[in-house]
Amino acid sequence: MVFNDAYNSSNAYWVIPKKKINNKKIEFVVTNVFPEYNNGVIKSDRKMRGLGDCWIYEELTWNGRKFAPSAKNTTGSCNAFLGGTWRLPILVTRVVTK
């Protein structure tokens, strides 16, 4: 499922178990604002204004049970600098794989 607005797009994601669990219906369990999936990580880069002067970046990483927030940063306030000024971390994690 794809969602679009004037300058951003996104996909919807569901986690579907391999086995049927107690006749449970499949539910929407992951966000719909992340347009890119690769190797267990769902990423999002979104413009906050059409000028592209402020952005927000987020990641969700599969931890074996669910997609958990693993990174988030922003370019700060919208000040007419194309691409934003810098990336300011909001959430920083260390993903450990086994």
How far is it, in rounded angstroms, from Cα 35 to Cα 9? 6
Percent over 90 (pLDDT), the chain: 7
pLDDT tens digits, one per residue of 44-57: 888 777 677 788 88
For residue 88, give the amino acid letter. L
Indicate the pairing of strand 2-4 with strand 9-11: antiparallel
pLDDT tens digits, one per residue of 30-42: 666 777 888 889 8
In 9-97, where do the E strands start and end? 9-11, 36-38, 41-47, 55-62, 67-74, 88-92
- Overall pTM surpassing 0.85 (yes/no): no
- Provide the mean pLDDT of the chain: 77
How far is it, in rounded angstroms, from Cα 57 to Cα 27? 25
How far is it, in rounded angstroms, from Cα 49 to Cα 78? 8
